[in-house]
Chains A and B, each alone.
Chain A
Amino acid sequence: MIDVVLSVRHVSAQRRRRLVAQAVSFDLRAGQVLGVVGANGSGKTTFLRTLVGFLSPAAGEVRIDGRLPPGALRVAPTAYFAGESTLPGFVRASAWGSLGTGEVVMSDRRRIRALSRSTRQLLGLRTALGRHPLRLVVLDDPWEGLDPDATRWLSATLEAKRDRGAAVVVSSQRLHDLAGICDKYLFLTGAVPTLVRAHEIARSGLVSAEQLVEAFDRARDHATSSLAITDGRPVTARGFDEDS
């Protein structure tokens, strides 16, 4: 039986009436990783918040373990983190860190705003990822600002979560972060994003950074040419039905 954790059907995500992703469809199974790639301002955060139900989709439907979010998050343990800027700066780091599992993940008693950016990012990630088991992990640009040790820790943790059966959605604007770790990639290159499976980019399924850059450029060129033909407005919404 296929263990689909995240099911996205013809979803259009919008922020303040601006469509950032249109008619996106895919399934993400337990143990699979989806990389969401896009430039600054391409709508990665909006799309990820739509996936976890913090934003209502303009069209379509998201289901987590067959249920609609945000109610689904009660039964499908989910980790979501959108970056260190979302942490309240006045809270003590040790107090925030204990909210994940009740255990102290950081003994530093300084206020979060007094920490370095890298430490804040690490604190947020460790708190969000501290719960286990996790069914769904959704991380927005998690490598942003991390030092090399923390980067290694994050990669190892994501692998461990995936191996224990979590579905992982992770976004980044730096392609080398995502190369080699994802089963599929969603390129937010225009209103109509492109979904590509890893083995479509590299036969082995292990995508290198160079191959990912090439694939992203191709998708962007295609989006640009589509927009030129339609005078800036996509004529049709392309869906990407996985396994169809």
Chain B
Amino acid sequence: MSTVAFLAAFFRAAPPVTHPILLCLWGTAALGGVAMAAGVAGGTTALTPVLVLQIFAASSGFGLALRRGHYDLVLSRGVGLPGVMMAHWLASAAPGAGAWLAVGAIERMVSTSPPVAFASGSLVSFLLASTLPWALTTPLPRFGAAIGWLMLLVTSLAMAPAAQLRLVEALRAPHPSALGALAVVVYPMGLLGVDAMRLPAGTMTPGLACALGSMLGAMAWHRRADIPLETAT
């Protein structure tokens, strides 16, 4: 069995995304599709819960499973840690990508306007929701980054109810600002349906750099780190 085939078989047998999250993803996509077909919701409404669930799905906690020895079987085949991490990330992001594509396909069928799911801003928001939480949760328990993000969002909204509006305004403003750049990272829903090419580079670049940097950082962290067993002495 080739390495890629083995990795695919491994993550099919031991998926990093839990079954409840998978059910929620597919249920949300199905509900969104029905709502769009019935004309009671648009693409943005259908995709927002999928994006939130993707943040939870991607927060799959690679490091903890690694330290528990779950990937010993893969590592003993000589697959390098970066390879296992990439496969884990793909397996974490794939169910959300499937749900996203399904919503996009339904949107294309029922709507005459271009699908929100495939707008460049939407794709950037999906990329951010798939990379940052995965990278940040690498050394944390499952859902670590998603819970942190949710707490940050809820707390800031409770303290400043107008924060959501200000974030979206800053994000879509014609001039780059620190708040706009922050909004890309902490409120990716604001990018849904937006043409990212028309947003200032100063708004988009820090968020994308953050996503790329976090992925590289997670890889570098584990490349230099050893893999002790949690229970071992």
Contacts and interface: CB of A to CB of B under 8 A. Distances in A.
Contacts of A46: 228, 232-233
B224 to A, nearest CB: 9
A15 B70 CA distance: 19
A73 B14 contact: no
B75 A85 contact: no
A86 B227 CA distance: 13
A102 interface: yes
B77 A82 contact: no
Contacts of A82: 69, 72, 229, 232
Contacts of B68: 85-86, 88
A213 B212 CA distance: 56
Given A46-B228, A49-B232, A80 B76 contact: yes
Interface in A115-155: 127-128
Interface residues on A, range: 35 or more
A198 interface: no
Interface residues of B, number: 27
B160 interface: no
Contacts of B72: 54, 80-82, 86
Contact of A99 (B10, B75, B227, B232): B10
Contact of B229 (A49, A91, A99, A128): A49
Contact of B231 (A16, A20, A70, A85): A85
A71 to B, nearest CB: 7
A56 B133 CA distance: 28
B86 to A, nearest CB: 16
Given A45-B229, A73-B75, A99-B13, 10 more contacts: A15-B228, A55-B226, A71-B78, A80-B76, A81-B72, A82-B69, A88-B65, A90-B14, A95-B13, A99-B73
11 contacts: A42-B233, A46-B228, A46-B233, A73-B75, A73-B76, A81-B72, A91-B14, A95-B14, A98-B13, A102-B9, A128-B73
Q: Which 7 A-B pairs have the closest CB atoms?
A: A86-B69, A74-B78, A73-B78, A45-B232, A95-B13, A80-B76, A41-B233
